[in-house]
Amino acid sequence: MKTVRHGYFFWGSMGLLAVLGVNGCSGATGTTSVTGKRKNTAITSSGTATRSLNPSAVITAHNKWRAKVGVPGLKWSDILAKRSKSWAKTLAGRCIMKHSHGEPYGENIFYAGPLTQTDPSGGKTNVSQQISSKDVVNTWGEEKKWYDYRSNSCHGGECGHYTQVIWKDTTEVGCAMALCKNNAQIWVCQYKEPGNLRGKRPY
């Protein structure tokens, strides 16, 4: 059974950009946007966001969406979190978006571009957006509006992140976030068992 990997989310300074496309199949790519500005967050001297990933919030957010369709909740996996951290750091090193293809796990990726602040003297500084673990998972969950259960397909936008979040057979998740040199954020979540298997519904 082939696992279909998911597209990426790009959260830019002026809103959400979903870069569509399904790795593992020949789907075309496209973009869509939702308006909404995010607040800034401070960056420490070590270059890490002061607001870090919260495992409890990740689980709570996932399980909220899963409860809506009557599937069991997920548990946190330190193993998957370690894998996600390794891959997030790899991506952040070049600030690129690419799936790890780390079978047999599923994977969702989220990118949040930096905000540029101008100081009184005219100098510009890139700062990281204030994005929480809940924000990231809920962005994926909100793809529900594009998922049609009857045809088991997406209509009007990408929905593969959502179907992975609610995939009935998935039992564990582990996530991590890393910063690019320009303070863009890359979030990675990996899942066991993987979702989006061809020919199967999520629940």
Q: What is the pLDDT of residues 143-152, one digit of tens each?
A: 999 999 999 9
CA–CA distance, 155 with 173 (Å, rounded to integer): 27
Beta strand spans in the chain (E): 8-12, 15-19, 31-35, 75-76, 106-112, 115-118, 124-127, 147-148, 153-154, 172-179, 185-192
Phi, psi (rounded to 5 degrees) for 95? 50, 55
pLDDT at 47 > cutoff 60: no
- What would the two tokens of residue 147 be? 């998922």
pLDDT above 60: residue 28: no
Is the pLDDT higher at 28 or at 93? 93
Question: Where does residue 89 rank: exposed (0-12), middle (13-18), buried (19+ CB within 10 A)?
Answer: middle
Note the pLDDT tens digit of each residue in 157-191: 999 999 999 999 999 999 999 999 999 999 999 99
Name residue 115's beta-bridge partners.
Answer: 127
Q: Could you tell me the CA-to-CA distances from 196 to 68, 94, 154, 160, 162 in Å, in that order?
A: 18, 28, 12, 7, 10
* pLDDT for residue 169: 98
